[in-house]
Chains A and B, each alone.
Chain A
Amino acid sequence: MTDLTNSPVSATSQQDIGFLQSLARRAQNNWRKIVILIPFVWLLFFFLFPFFIVAKISLAELAIASPPFTKLIEWTDTGVINIRIVFDNFTYILTDNLYSNTYLNSLKISVLSTLICLLFGYPIAYGIVRSGPVMKPLLLFLVILPFWTSFLLRVYAWMGLLADQGTINNLLISIGLIDEPIRMLYTEFAVFVGIVYTYMPFMILPLYANMEKLDTSLNEAAADLGSKPTNTFFKVTLPLTIPGIIAGSLLVFIPATGEYVIPDLLGGGNVQMIGRVLFNEFSRNTDWPVASAVAIVLLFLLVVPIAVFQHYQGKENEGR
């Protein structure tokens, strides 16, 4: 950063410069240490360390105590250390059909929702990038605005739309298209709608950021060389937007897999997703060891996607 040799200190001797440099470097190093350490320690303490405790509890047994699990390491009266690690919670989760089906169902719902978000989000982002200098910021703003309004209320809005007596059914009945209301609320369909609706901006924004940086002269060159628009799109534009596609897809896929609110409100009891099972295991059954094991398995499922996301994000932030 600072390079003292560039500063106008030609009058001072070489020795002084050396001294000044080391002093400045030391001050800067201390300064750097403080800047790094404050957020680093915070994250270690409040983000990373808690996961170890979850991992620890997942190896314990349920007990009628407060907190409701057995201690892993215990000093007995005779001075012997008792270490008790049980893998029962994991074998229980992995062998019980309820859990494996729930994991699979969560993955199915989040993969499909991600694909739907991509299918519709891509042309929307592309359309915004391609719009005029006046419309562009306005359209972008209109896409971001719902993202700022309450997530919970947006899900709630869909309950009113999808209910048996809801707006959509009322509309369809009044125009004579159907006689009986279609059951939509508390089905998997409603969960898809909810996830696509709430996570769509997370797909559009990274795609937009990526597309905006694209060099349109490449498209023009392809066109000049006689490539048809569709061909140009698949050969030039699409490959160049892959980083945006990956970032957007992961921003939708990872949180959607653990989603709790949407399957609970829009799926009722009919759609099992792992986030909901975890929450209920924890708060209603108060089975902390099993809930922790469910969380650890979920985390393992998501480690690779999260690492990929971090890789791309890291590249972006490397700067220069």
Chain B
Amino acid sequence: MYNKRSRFLTVMVSLGLAFFYIPLLLLVIYSFNHSKLVPVWGGWSTRWYKVLFFESPEVWSAVALSLKIAFVNATFATMLGTLAALAMVRFGRFKGRTLFGGMLVAPLVMPEVITGLSLLVFFISLQELIGWPAERGFTTITIAHITFSMAFVAVTVQARLTGMGQDLEEAAADLGAKPFKVLTAITIPRLTPALVSGWLLAFTLSLDDLVIASFVTGPGANTLPILIFSRIRLGLRPDINALATIIILVVAICVTIAALIMYRQHKRDLLDQQLAERAD
């Protein structure tokens, strides 16, 4: 009965995927273009990769700064986001829950210009008041990133926590395990897939952020998106295509590995579930 519509759906999915991937594919192809003008095809060449690797030290220092921020951000955002998710899913009602939930969800949708502006004026007021942060850069960007990416971690972990049930935690507690022990021995290991994907999500969001970082950075601290943005604005530079290709490749490989790990975990969970059902 769905045959007719399913052909329509197949066409839509195919068109959608084509729409998603053709621009990325063209970016990769043009990164091997010899010509200096991006849209003009001048034959295959790895010229811009050489320029990128050997003549663009500023790109690599921006890459290093971005990776450092992303790593610290992802780690802290995962910790804070997980605590927040635990509070939201496992603690029922508590004072200020509505406010807490609101503050936790709002960064998911808040336009970046608003978040960026408010964090900058906050940092400046704080600096006037207590002299910290003395300069804007690594610390301020990291704090800003943690603030918005912990929301994404919280949503990811919440989804897993809700689906997980808490019988094992209860059993452990009944057998005398202290709350901290329950958390580290039972809850955290069972949350691992969600924690991994939350961490990766926070990492990527941080690497990707341009607007908020532009607001809260100072002179001299350029993250990779800030650098790329200013390059693009100055005019199309072919070595950006080479950089883009490398980024797309690295991301695709990392995400594929992560997806495979989570897919395997998912299958194991399903198997466990089936076994448990059969045991009943």
Contact = CB atoms under 8 A, between A and B. Distances in A.
User: Is the pairing of A and B real?
Assistant: yes
Interface of A: 1-4, 6-7, 27-28, 31-32, 35-36, 38-40, 42-44, 46-51, 53-54, 57, 67, 120-121, 123-124, 126-128, 130-131, 137, 139, 141-146, 148-154, 156-161, 163, 165-167, 170, 197, 200, 204, 223, 229, 233, 250-251, 254-255, 257-261, 264-265, 275, 278-279, 282-283, 288, 291-292, 295, 298-299, 302, 305-306, 309-310, 313-314, 317, 319-320
B16 interface: yes
A28 B183 CA distance: 12
B222 interface: no
Interface residues of B, number: 103
Given A160-B27, A163-B39, A255-B109, 8 more contacts: A31-B179, A31-B180, A54-B117, A160-B26, A254-B111, A255-B112, A310-B105, A319-B161
Nearest to B176: A7
A150 B241 CA distance: 12
Given A3-B174, A126-B9, A306-B109, A51 B118 contact: yes
A175 to B, nearest CB: 16
B244 A156 contact: yes
Interface of A is mostly: helix
A120 B100 contact: no
A120 B252 contact: no
Nearest to A224: B1
A250 B109 contact: yes
Nearest to B90: A1
B27 A156 contact: yes
Interface of B: 1-2, 4-6, 8-10, 12-13, 15-17, 19-21, 23-24, 26-27, 30, 37-40, 80-81, 83-84, 86-91, 94, 96, 100-115, 117-119, 121-122, 124-125, 128, 143-144, 146-147, 150, 154-155, 158, 161-162, 166, 169-170, 173-176, 178-180, 204, 207-208, 210-211, 214-215, 225, 228-229, 232-233, 236, 240, 244, 247-248, 251-252, 255, 259, 263
A165 B39 contact: yes
14 contacts: A35-B83, A36-B94, A39-B100, A47-B107, A54-B121, A120-B15, A124-B12, A127-B13, A131-B13, A255-B112, A258-B112, A261-B210, A275-B112, A314-B101
B1 A124 contact: no
Given A3-B174, A150-B244, A159-B232, A44 B21 contact: no
Contacts of A51: 118
A123 B5 CA distance: 10
A57 B214 CA distance: 20
8 closest residue pairs by CB, A with B: A258-B111, A127-B9, A50-B122, A50-B118, A157-B23, A2-B173, A39-B84, A123-B12
Contacts of B39: 160, 163, 165-167, 170
A113 B96 CA distance: 35
B104 A43 contact: yes
Contacts of A28: 179
A310 B83 contact: no
A143 B147 contact: no
B16 A141 contact: no
Contact of A319 (B5, B125, B162, B259): B162
Nearest to A42: B80
A255 B115 CA distance: 11
Contacts of B117: 54, 278, 282, 291-292, 295
Given A145-B252, A229-B4, A251-B109, A153 B27 contact: yes
A39 B154 CA distance: 10
A251 B111 CA distance: 10
